[in-house]
Structure 1
Amino acid sequence: MSDASRLDALRNWVAAHHALPVHQFRLELAAGDASFRRYFRLWLPDDTTRILMDAPPAREDSQPFITIASAWRSTGLPVPALHAQNLDAGFIELEDLGDTPLHLMLGEEDSDATLNGYERALALIDTLQNRAPCDTLPAYDEALLGRELDLFPEWSLTRFLSIDPPANWEAHRQRLIETALTQPRVAVHRDYDAMNLMVHDEQLWLIDFQDAVCGPLTYDMISLLRGRYCRFPRPRFIAWVEAFRQRAIADGRLTHHVDSDTFLHMADAMAAQRSLKVLGIFCRLTFRDAKQGYLARLPQFLEHLRDSLAPWPDYAELTAWLDNSFTPALTSALAQHTSREGEA
């Protein structure tokens, strides 16, 4: 079904659900995302607004979103209310949380606005992990961690750069997986990023949690701290990781015997796994899904990857490969891609 046909179907569903003729309400595109979902804002005759998710069922399974939203809201977590749903059509009507994701409120990396925003977001991770049930979520297990890491050689190295994986790639891959699996298991949002935290009624709200899993304690923390918007200095990153460790020990998510260095190594290894995954995903979004703008984000995650690996001697070989092989190849490929776009 074309986008226009889906929009007509969405209008008809809204009309039937609210018992209104189509001329008495208004729809406007609110956002798209990296998946095949689109979001529309609905204006009802009494000026009430809603957000409508359009998730084509042939492309997106919306049941996890419904299940997680209901479970998390029942624990008091800040997630949007569900007002209506039609899973066969792929339509969901949600509470409208406005137009202000956290990333729009950030300034320079050392500004009060940025530091305060990240402090609030880190505190919300504590709340999420302490309230959200974990055992009902899919497991972030060895197989899933491995599939995510495999996106890097498949899409970044082979499809985009045409270079070989680093020597001992399988050993590095396995080390990252095993380090992730040693961590306590909690509910993991899996895309805990400043763009997926809405500021509404002076509170942060969680959105885009449909891919949540039961997985490593540090994942959402590094998803936030090593995300697309900021690259924090090493001392700031270490301070946030240590504060997180201490809070996790205090509330029982982590045992006392996990010391600062061990926990920092866990966090950096988790950040390396995620950065490698993102480098692969952004190339796949570009070359398989024809999404625009993702290649320009690759250098940010290369920096995150190097920041994660360089401090640790057990990743020295992989860091050297990043510096001597991957970085030059990526720099050259991005320059060529930009040049071709300019000529088009």
Structure 2
Amino acid sequence: RIFTQSGTSILMDSSLEKSSLVHFLKIQQRLLNARVRVPQVFESSLELGFVLLEDFGSTHLLDILDEENQKLYYKKAIDEIVQIQQADATGLLVYDREFLIFEMDLSIEWYLKKHLGVVLDSKAKVELQSLFGLIADDVLLQPQGVFVHRDFHSRNIMLDANGKLGVIDFQDARSGAITYDLVSLLKDCYYEIGLEAREELVLYFRDKKGLDADDKTILRWFDMMGLQRHIKILGIFTRLCYRDKKRQYLQDIPLTLRYIKEVALKYPALKALDKLLMVN
């Protein structure tokens, strides 16, 4: 953070990965064009690998959420997702079947094998990967091709002094399913809201988008997208722990497992996930 007489700004140092800066600036501009509130760029040097950005402050949405205000702020955040989905997704990497399954496979290597010490036999591995395929196929049944932030949750949404939301950490955007960012928000691995409130907000998103989907359909889209994301997160969080020495992520695994169990038990074809991923 840079302090001056006129205020503060954020200096982003990409000097060791200068090529990533070009991508960051392109994604930032796409979101700005869609009227998404992302940090303005004051100055940039591609040669040196530095960017001077607008400072949204230090208050994350997570810091202020509680049972009384969560519905208000989540609706504001959903409105922001609707804007994000107006951004140009042309040329972005696509959340295709191969990538959806690749992400879920991380759970086998890092969560089951590395964290739990479980090596699946060939039969169990085939069964689990078959379920991954079913989940991926189901995800692809919902509308695709929208701009996906990929990490739109309460730690990546800032709240400024005027109570306005700002979006950060968008550089890994892809083109994908219409409920992806909604799942990131409403099935946040760092903050849990009740099932009734969550489903009400899913329907709010549906209505805000004007989607032609009944309640059962939109909730299934949401459930399957969430299942894919949380199976992936089991692998991501344990990889962050063991490879990157960030052990704090292990504390968020129990909620992630609860999300998986909730959906696996809701749909009979997925019931075996409960056992294969050692959810209990």
Please give the TM-score of this superposition, normalised by the length of structure 1.
Answer: 0.75
Cα deviation for residue 189 of structure 1 reads 0.5
Question: Aligned pair 1:283/2:238, yes or no?
Answer: yes
Counterpart position of 1:114: 70
Counterpart position of 1:17: none
Q: Is the 8 A contact 1:286 1:292 kept in 2?
A: yes
Counterpart position of 1:84: 43
**SS at 1:50 equivalent:** strand
Counterpart position of 1:182: 141
Q: How many residues align?
A: 274
Instruction: Return the alpha-carbon distance in structure 1 between the equivalents of residues 268 and 93 of structure 2.
Output: 33
Counterpart position of 1:219: 180
Instruction: Return the alpha-carbon distance in structure 1 between the equivalents of residues 194 and 51 of structure 2.
Output: 41
> What whole-Å deviation, never above 9, does each CA across 1:102-123 have from its counterpart, x for those lacking one?
111112xxx2222222121112
Q: Is the 8 A contact 1:57 1:88 kept in 2?
A: no
**SS at 2:170 equivalent:** coil
Pick 1 or 2: higher relative contact order, CA cutoff 8 A, min separation 6.
Answer: 2
Q: Is the 8 A contact 1:64 1:211 kept in 2?
A: no
Alignment of 1:86-165 (within 5 A): 86-107=45-66, 111-129=67-85, 131-165=86-120
Alignment of 1:301-340 (within 5 A): 301-322=256-277, 326-327=278-279
Give the letter for the 2:231 counterpart. L
Q: What are structure 2's unaligned runs of at least 5 residues? A: none
**SS at 1:274 equivalent:** helix
Question: Aligned pair 1:210/2:165, yes or no?
Answer: no
Question: Aligned pair 1:231/2:192, yes or no?
Answer: yes
Please give the TM-score of this superposition, normalised by the length of structure 2.
Answer: 0.91
Instruction: Return the alpha-carbon distance in structure 1 between the equivalents of residues 244 and 173 of structure 2.
Output: 22
> What whole-Å deviation, never above 9, does each CA across 1:228-251 have from its counterpart, x for those lacking one?
233223222222222222322x2x
Sequence identity, in percent?
A: 32
Counterpart position of 2:153: 193
Superposition CA RMSD, Å: 1.9
Give the letter for the 1:327 counterpart. V
Give the letter for the 2:279 counterpart. T
Which is greater in Rg?
1
